[in-house]
Chains A and B, each alone.
Chain A
Amino acid sequence: MDIMNEKQFEELWVKAEAESHAEKLAAEYPVWRQKTRRTLSMAAGVALVLAVATPIAMSPSATGNYNKVYCNRAGIQDQQWVNLADELLMEG
């Protein structure tokens, strides 16, 4: 049996180190994959809920029978104006 020189020893050392890393990674891969899948599923769920809920929450029907009220006086409820618009139509 030949005695390894320094260079051969170094090459074997690097190879052995790389193989041990690969083995370690291979062992951890299933756990990493499961975690990633779980995270992606959660993100997809949140995005789906937001995509459905936000437009519904911000639709005109969610604010009653009007979109927006501008007023030149502070402290008057929007609904009072909507009621006045309704009452005038009833009277007219």
Chain B
Amino acid sequence: MPGSPLQRYLHSFIPAAPLATFRLAFGLLVLASVVRFWAKGWIAELYLQPKFFFSYYGFEWVRPLGGYTYGLFVVCVLCALLVAVGYWYRTAAVGLFLSFTYIELMDKSTYLNHYYFVSLVALLLMVLPAGRYFSLDAYRHPARWRNQVPRWTVDALRLLMGIVYVYAGLAKLNSDWLVHAMPLRIWLPAKNDLPLLGPLLSQVWVAYAFSWFGAFYDLTVPFFLLNRRTRPMAYATVVVFHVLTAVLFPIGMFPYVMMVAALIFFPAAWHERVLGHLRRLLRRPAPVALLAAAPLVYRPAVRHALLLGLGVFFLVQLLLPFRYLLYPRELFWTEEGYRFSWRVMLMEKMGQVQFKVVDGRTGRARLVNNYEHLSLLQEKMMSTQPDMLVQFAHYLRDYYARRGVHAPQVYADAYVSLNGRLGKSLIDPTVDLARVRDDLRPKPWILPFDDEITGL
């Protein structure tokens, strides 16, 4: 046995049950989430009806597939189901990651942090040995069955959860959230017609209490979940917290995803009990070899590759949210480096933008009706995000060029309010966006914020 604590840790094993229950619950949750998305008619509304889609930098080739987009969702649903039951597990996990991520990359305006989280978990599940236990694969091929897995395979999921929570907490350590209770101060009174809780929500102190508790909760809950003594209480808080957010805010499946994913912190014995209940429910006998340890031992090369891959993955996860430091100005205003950083519920940002297209030869100007080109959601998202304003400007440039406007110049007059500040111009209305490059460099044509938000 190698000597250093790290080596000992990397060679230790735990029962495979946590990975199995996580796989099952996660698969079913994604399944429900995608079916819900479909049932609400959002596939047509968000991916078929709009004439233009906001792609991600470097992923311009990812586009909705017209009528075949439904097929993409079918693949995603099918893969989620297969992952849940552990049938053709590895292939299904790859399929789930690819289909779900493709869907998310089709249009920026549907970006949600929890979709990003689902993509990341699906990526991890591609390499983690979650299909070796309590799965159809193991049932059909008993030789593949393993009841013990390296400890780090389970801890990888815990670490990802921990990063999500702690980074969401760090993002709350700013003056708007802590000193001004923004944006909860705006959002909570809007819910004051709820039974019981309602009347409290009009009180300013409640917004402060929610803000401070929210920051404290995010920063600490992974640690309380890790500790055996605090775990039950911490999990109760997880449930209360997320149920509350589900009641108060239109955030869809996110609370349920987090409530279920946090179960990964429970000890193996607990997961084994859950699986025991399920076995009885399905009238399946416990595996004969239950008592004999059958650990999954990777070949050294595979093991090294996996550990290296996970190391790179988590390094990226730890650094990516801080990329905003590479941009000189206020993050909430410019949103340069805002996505993929677990910044959740931090801004009440609203805007209105008027595009003007000028004929480069005749100087004739015309104003654009955004709603003729974009869905309600796209217009709402675009009006506050500079990178999307450029993308739409380029679309307008090409659209009007096709309709006979010579060398179209595109100008945007965007008026944006942020966390209760009176609206002001977001970008320079005299800059021709048709000639601005759409890339990741700082955008000098974003106008100053004229205020300061201190903190992370």
Partners in one complex: no
- B binding-site residues for A, Cβ under 8 Å: none
Residues of A within 8 A of B (CB): none
